[in-house]
Amino acid sequence: MREGGFTTLPALVRMFALSAALALAVGGCVPAGANRDPETLVAVESADATSFNPLFTNDTQSTIVQSLVLEPLVSFAPGFKPIPWLAASWQGTPDGMHWDVRLRRGVHWSDGAPFTSKDVVWTWKTMLDPATGFLYQGQFAYVKDVRADGPYAVHFDLSAPNATFITYALNAPILPEHVLGAIPDAQQRSTSFGQHPIGTGPYLLQSWQHDDRLVLVRNSHWWHGDVSIPRIEMRIVLNDQARVEAMEDGSADFYDGANSSDYLSLKRDAPYLRFVHVPTLYAGMIYLNEHVPGLDDNRVRQAMLYGWDRKDMIDGLFHGDDLIGTGILTPALADWYDPHVKQYRYDPQRANALLDEAGWHRGSDSIRVKDGRRLAFELMMPNGNVLGQDEAAEFQADMRALGIAISVEQLDFSTYLDRTNTSKFEMALGSWGGAVDPDQYTFLACSQTPPAGNNSMFYCNKRVDHDLVMGLRTVNESKRRAYYDDMQRVTAENLPVLWGTFGYYRAVFSPRVVVDTRSLSPDQYAWLNIWHWRLGP
């Protein structure tokens, strides 16, 4: 018996039809996307910054936003040449142990207070105090003393000459003494400065909704001059597709650090946008633990590199949008990168020959054996990176062809880092870099194995060690270059890791952004000369 009521079939059909119509009606309203505000540059980011306090953060996003509000004594020109910034000039003694820095006059904090040597001295004293918990306190431990020489000069005394003094130490952002000076060092961590910064830079923080939006407005009293773009809005858009859509419909102006597939799909679908593609400071690589039998033999390491078809991997998996890695330093460090080192073009014959020479011969299952030990290793990688998984699978297949058995282990990121940092691994897929100085002491020096430094590979080469120590000590740039050229040449022969690929920093701009794309620096340094950018019609 068919009756009325909502439980009957026709009634149900009606209800579904209604809901479907409603859904389509709601879905059918397409919002007009384009951002036509001539005063605001909208940037889409894949992650949020955490804090404006440079003492306690070093994640890329935080570094970016800090660079817009706070300023260092020395900044960089394109190509990472140091240029005077809050420091007007600097002069060091020939032995590199004493430095005089003259400060720029007429600089003011955003609350009107003048910038003086008091700020520099206070910032440094706070950085060097272990109670503060400054992330790089250990790295700057060679700075023995910092004192003011009048209101516009600061004097530094070092306990040892250090070539990174200018690029790292003088590049540290300066904090306002009049705001933070009264707070004891141990409590610097709990101040709200990280959420409410006061700086000397081109922009001021206007508002910040976490994981959503960060708005900066220009500093109209900036010492350097005029800032073209009145407002910057950083939108945190977690999903790749959403960022691509925002660029396509014009609601965003700048896709900062686009990943390879987004970059390529935007190039294909929205070719009227402007595309920037510069080598990044990071080098992809496979770490090797040289305490593991088999990996301690350089011939085995070389064989692996010869037997890994990286060109094919780049063409196939990365659509040709990467470079074959040749070392630890990337082409982004134009002044230091040496491309004339030993190359490892795909040559499985050579690889096999090297393995035979090293005494590893094929066993019954075609995996090489020596003294009863199989040539088998575990490759660690962080989880969730599907492209990396394919990369690992391809590497695995290439190695199997050589007679090396690789098993892949994915770990959650923190565990992966913990294991790589403490050398509890055999091989690990990862990357290294980000530094604007060629120094690799903490990464490659014999003495810098954990827990002292980051040489988790236990790499030890006397010549490289000498280059690293001397390179760190030599302030004269041309003399320095000789050491790093040698380092690159030797590490290409005696491999510390397997070079992977050199990635690109990719950025996409909407047509109305007027920026000199040729002088764009990679990674967090893309924002270096933000005051030159303009918003056109």
Partner 1 sequence: MSTFVFRRIAGVLPLLFIITLISYAMMGLAPGGPTALMVHEARAVSPAERQHLMALLGLDKPWYVRYFYWLGALVLRGNLGYSYVDNRPVIAKIVEKLPVTIELIGLSLIVTLLVSIPIGVTAARYRNSLFDHVSSLISFAGYGIPVFWLGMLLIDAFALHLRWLPAAGIASLGHEHDPIDNLRHMVLPVVTLSFVSLASWIRYQRGAMLNVLSESYIRTARSKGLAERTVIYRHALRNALMPTITLLGLSLPSLVGGAYFLEYVFSLPGMGYLGINSVFTRDYPTVMGITLLSAILVVFGNLTADIGYALVDPRVRYD
Partner 2 sequence: MKQPRPMQLVARRFVRERSALAGLAILAAIILAATVGPFFSPYSPIAVDHALLGKPLPPSAHHWLGTDLLGRDELTRALYGARISLLIGFTAMVVAIVVGTLYGAVSGAAGGKVDAVMMRIVDALLSFPTFFLIITVEALTNSFTLVIVVLVIGLLSWMGVARLVRAEVLSLRERDFVEAARALGAGGTRIVFHHLLPNAFVPVVVAATLTIGDNILTEAGLSFLGLGVQVPTPSWGNMLQDALLPSARSALWLVLTPGLLIVITLLALSLVGEGLRVAFDRSIAQEVSTATGVTETIEAA
Residues that bind partner 2 (CB under 8 A): 240, 261, 265, 309, 312-313, 315-317, 319, 382-387, 389-390, 392-394, 396-398, 407-412, 414-415
Q: Which residue has the tokens 């609350």?
A: 111
- 106 exposed, middle or buried (CB, 10 Å; 0-12, 13-18, 19+)? exposed
Q: List the one residue out of 66, 71, 38, 108 whose CA is nearest residue 214.
A: 66
265 binds, among partner 1, partner 2, none (CB under 5 to 8 A by kind): partner 2
442 binds, among partner 1, partner 2, none (CB under 5 to 8 A by kind): partner 1
Q: 222, 107 in Cβ contact below 8 A?
A: no
**Cβ atoms within 10 Å of 436's Cβ, excluding its own:** 23
Least distance CB 248 / partner 2 (angstroms): 15
Minimum distance, C-beta of residue 521 to partner 1, in the bound complex (Å):
14
- Rounded CA-CA distance 139/144 in Å is 12
Q: Which is nearer to partner 2, 59 or 418 (CB)?
A: 418
Tell me the sheet residues that pair with 231. Answer: 40, 217
Measured from the CB atom, the residue of 191 and 396 that comes closer to partner 1 is 191
**Minimum distance from residue 280 beta carbon to partner 1 (Å):** 13
- 56 touches which of partner 1, partner 2, none (CB within 5 to 8 A by kind)? partner 1
Q: Give the one entry of partner 2, partner 1, none that residue 397 binds, where binding means its C-beta sits below a cut-off of 5 to 8 angstroms depending on kind.
A: partner 2
- How many CB atoms are closer than 10 A to CB 206? 12
* Closer by beta carbon to partner 2, 296 or else 315: 315
Q: How far is the CB of 523 from partner 1 (least distance, A)?
A: 9
Closer residue to partner 2 in complex, CB, 424/512 = 424
CB of 327 to partner 1, least distance (A): 17
Residue pointed to by tokens 């859509």: 245
3-state secondary structure of 405: strand
Residue type, 332: A
Sheet holding 98-103, edge to edge: 87-92, 98-103, 153-158, 143-148
For partner 1, the closer of residues 194 and 294 by Cβ is 194
Taking the least distance from each CB to partner 1, the nearer of 29 and 182 is 29
DSSP string for residues in 468-513: HHHHHH--SHHHHHHHHHHHHHHHHHS-SEEEEEEEEEEEEE-TTE
Minimal distance in Å, beta carbon 28 to partner 2? 25
Residue 416 · residue 381 · CB < 8 Å: yes
Residue 290 or 426: which CB sits closer to partner 2? 426
Q: How far is the CB of 27 from partner 1 (least distance, A)?
A: 5
